[in-house]
Amino acid sequence: MNPVTRKSTRHVNQNEGLIFEKSSPGKAAWRLPQSDVPEVDAGKLLGSAERKTLGSMPEVSEIEIIRHFTRLSTWNYAIDLGMYPLGSCTMKYNPRVNEVVARLEGLANGHPYLPESIAQGALRIMKSLSDCLIEITGMDAITLQPAAGAHGELTGLLMVRAFHESKGSPRKKILIPDSAHGTNPATAATAGYAVENLKSNTAGMVDVAALTSQMNEDVAALMLTNPNTLGVFEQDIHKIADLMHAKGGLLYMDGANMNALVGKVRPGDFGVDVMHLNLHKTFSTPHGGGGPGSGPVAVKRTLEPYLPTPVLKENPDSTLAFDYDRPQSVGRVRAFYGNFGMFVRALAYIMANGPDGLRQTTEDAVLNANYIRKGLDGTYDLPYKTPTMHEVVFSDKLQAKKGVRTMDIAKRLIDYGFHPYTTAFPLIVPGALMIEPTESESIEELDLFVEAMRSIAREVDEDPQTVLQAPHTTRVSRLDETAAARKPNLRWKPAAS
């Protein structure tokens, strides 16, 4: 486990340009047969669309292309290589059966402009998924349109706004706990609301007394993540829902942490009015670069009239159709009907597991997180002692005494063969180490992770420089993350000729 390859890696890094640029004139990875049809004048055929000068393209052989992309694929980290303990992201394994089903020709090649009459199979998949998600959440109706969790939040708050408008005023504020994910306040602001911060108590839960004094008729909704980003279940959830409803407000639940609840409790039963799910978290569809996301929004009956159009409906003869005649709808939030390939994968996952399998998944996810909590408590500071569910949040308090912060520990973890955990979030824990193993990991992998984290803590005591300069085994070491976000350089461009 000791990373000893740093010299050779450095050497390669210095020659990155040489390794990347492989083109030399005359090489090709293809050969076409002699044309057996008469040549035509491209100018005549294409008119002004003809491209007079070709851009410069790399000239490489077939094996060079294959090696290039295969090599690039090994420079990255993936769930298929090892554990991805990125707290709050639920980076679970994406089962291959999902992929097999999503690639079935009729599903992969179905076009969104197919008439409903010959797309009944696809619509049935969407209806079945909707029914499953409604059952899992205990809500009454759902839209599958939003393309991510944050997009679902916005869709949900637009419905909240429409609901209050129908009662005469959209109201002014959204209450958001200080433990919330950054997308929550961003969503509230985008939906035209002022954000009011709600502080947590010493147990890491919503302070009910603070909520009581802050809740009034200006508040449109409370946006709550449950379990919250500390992994703590909001035990006063019934009281919280009652407080909101008593003053005519709504309870929005950020469902990103549903991996801790599926098959155990249902948000619809504890007073939630509207919530999103992240299919790319809880329901094992790929994240980000691995595929488009999906953030369905489920609502109670009171909000159903405001669902985005079109809404899937079942005709009396059991055929399915899209209903566009929804005068109170917030309108469309996505082209077509959402990311269909993700619906197929999520439904495959749900059906492969079944109700008992999903419940087992939840129990395993919670067990794994608590195994890590137990293994690292004492080695790392645990700021909140409240029982945690699917994730656990430590702080770098002990290591900070030696000048080592959470980001340094996360970078060093890369040298041990793990993706970093989530750093610096939630904001109520300074120097947070937010760890979520998910149910996918075996006890052997969890033991390796715990041992890696303990080993790093020993290094902090004995040789902090090793940790402060990590990672040592990657192609590049510490990047300027701000510049990477502000001035992304995402593709190869030919050298100016």
Q: Which parts of this chain interact with ligand PLP (CB under 6 A)? A: 88-89, 148-150, 181, 183, 225, 229, 254, 256, 278, 293, 295
**Closest distance between ligand PLP and the C-beta of residue 91, in Å?**
11
In the complex with ligand PLP, the residue whose CB is nearer, 231 or 305, is 231
Find the residue with minimal CB distance to ligand PLP. Answer: 149
Q: What is the DSSP letter of 72?
A: H
Q: Quick one: how far is CA 41 from the chain centroid? A: 51
Rg of the chain, C-alpha, whole Å: 26
Between CA 445 and CA 27 the distance in angstroms is 45
In the complex with ligand PLP, the residue whose CB is nearer, 60 or 175, is 175
In the complex with ligand PLP, the residue whose CB is nearer, 179 or 474, is 179
Angle 287-288-290 from CA coordinates, rounded to 5°: 70
In the complex with ligand PLP, the residue whose CB is nearer, 252 or 418, is 252
Between CA 461 and CA 25 the distance in angstroms is 55
In the complex with ligand PLP, the residue whose CB is nearer, 119 or 240, is 240
**Closest distance between ligand PLP and the C-beta of residue 254, in Å?**
5
- For residue 358, give Cα distances in angstroms to 245, 372, 384: 31, 22, 28
**Closest distance between ligand PLP and the C-beta of residue 240, in Å?**
17
Classify each residue of 36-56 as buried b or exposed e, where b means 16 or more C-beta atoms within 10 Å of its C-beta: eeeeeeeeeeeeeeeeeeeee
Spell out the alpha helix ranges (H) of 215-316.
237-246
In the complex with ligand PLP, the residue whose CB is nearer, 148 or 369, is 148
Task: Record the tokens describing residue 491, joined without a space.
Answer: 């593709």
In the complex with ligand PLP, the residue whose CB is nearer, 270 or 322, is 270
Between CA 486 and CA 289 the distance in angstroms is 18
**Closest distance between ligand PLP and the C-beta of residue 227, in Å?**
10
Q: Helix or strand or coil: residue 8?
A: helix
**Closest distance between ligand PLP and the C-beta of residue 116, in Å?**
29
**Closest distance between ligand PLP and the C-beta of residue 281, in Å?**
6
> Dihedrals φ, ψ of 433, to 5°?
-120, 100
Task: Record the tokens describing residue 326, joined without a space.
Answer: 């929804």
In the complex with ligand PLP, the residue whose CB is nearer, 82 or 185, is 185
**Closest distance between ligand PLP and the C-beta of residue 257, in Å?**
6
C-beta pairs of 490-495 under 8 Å, 24+ apart in sequence:
492/20, 492/58, 494/55, 494/56, 494/57, 494/58, 495/21, 495/56
- For residue 196, give Cα distances in angstroms to 135, 150, 175, 218: 32, 19, 5, 11
**Closest distance between ligand PLP and the C-beta of residue 427, in Å?**
13
In the complex with ligand PLP, the residue whose CB is nearer, 181 or 345, is 181
**Closest distance between ligand PLP and the C-beta of residue 251, in Å?**
16
Question: Helix, strand, coil % (nearest 5) of the chain?
Answer: 40, 10, 45
